[in-house]
Amino acid sequence: MHSTRSDAQETLTFETRGRGLFEVTAEIAGVVDRSGIRLGLCVVYCRHTSASLLIQENADPTAARDAEEWFERLAPEGDPRYSHTLEGPDDMPAHLRSAVTSTSETIPVGEGKLVLGTWQGLFLFEHRTRPQRRELVVHVQGTA
């Protein structure tokens, strides 16, 4: 018997509403469902340097708000030491907040589902002030 091993790749587009965390767990789970893969890996890849990925608690919205504000303090806007200001005051902080969060995340798939913990959600973290069009490449590899 041949194993039915396969690769499925989709590019998802999101319109963000400006700076903040946007949960995308359901959209990523949809790619896993469509792939038919039961046991394998799901890679999520963010094609940007001023937006990133974050796996965080999705139960209490105060956790997301505290996280957003903490990252704003960690890499503040308007620091006079930045040289890279041509694309606006929110651009360099966006690169720094991206640098300390994730560009790629790999989540195992078991019994056809992402093995996320009970309280975990996957978020697209928009770091620019204004709404942007963002692309995530989702790749699922494994056996049906």
Q: Which residues bind a copy of itself (CB under 8 A)?
A: 2-3, 5, 7, 9, 11, 39-41, 43, 45-49, 54-57, 60, 62-63, 65-67, 69-71, 74-75, 81-84, 86, 92, 95-96, 98-108, 110, 115-120, 135, 137, 139, 141-143
User: Sign of dihedral through CA atoms 29, 35, 37, 43?
Assistant: negative
* DSSP assignment string, 109-137: EETTEE---TTEEEEEEE-SSS--EEEEE
User: Sign of dihedral through CA atoms 62, 130, 28, 44?
Assistant: negative
Task: Name the minimum Å distance from CB 18 to a copy of itself.
Answer: 19
Task: Name the minimum Å distance from CB 120 to a copy of itself.
Answer: 6
- Using the minimum distance from each CB to a copy of itself, give the nearer residue, 36 or 54: 54
